[in-house]
Copies of this chain bind each other. A is one copy, B any other.
């Protein structure tokens, strides 16, 4: 356990759903920081939970841990804004493609054509796919505590 200001690794893990091993890994990568030790044991500030949410979100939208780490460093503040708009535009492109693909999949699932290759709409998606390399999230399951 920890005092009322800090969390130990088990508490962070419990609150965030992120395994302790991953928390150590993230710390080693510089994605989160521990604010001290109690003996050997890491102590975290409560805001690490927010940080972890951001990391998870970043991953969900397709950023690598390295990219996420880069976004956390405040040195880049000046170029940040420009970068952000670039990223936003990039994301927007991806969104358009994903929407087309999603619609295509839904269509394909209901399409009466004997083979998908005879379905014009599906062929259209193939063409979209050929043009756009969409960065895709790795569907990862979050270990939820059914803590009730």
- Which A residues have a C-beta under 8 Å from some C-beta of B? 10, 13-14, 17-20, 50, 53-54, 56-57, 59-62, 71-72, 74, 77, 80-82, 84-85, 87-88, 90-92, 94-95, 97-99, 101-102, 105-106, 108-110, 114-117, 123, 125-127, 129-130, 132-139, 141-148
Copies assembled: 2
Beyond A13-B146, A61-B94, A77-B115, 13 additional contacts (C-beta under 8 Å) are A10-B146, A10-B147, A18-B146, A19-B144, A57-B126, A60-B129, A60-B132, A71-B116, A84-B105, A88-B106, A91-B101, A95-B95, A95-B98
The 8 closest A-B pairs by CB, nearest first: A88-B105, A84-B109, A13-B146, A91-B102, A57-B129, A81-B109, A61-B101, A143-B144
Check A105/B85 contact, CB under 8 A, given A94-B137, A97-B137, A115-B77. yes
11 residue pairs of the A-B complex, CB under 8 angstroms, read A10-B146, A14-B148, A19-B144, A61-B94, A71-B116, A81-B110, A84-B106, A95-B98, A98-B98, A133-B142, A138-B141
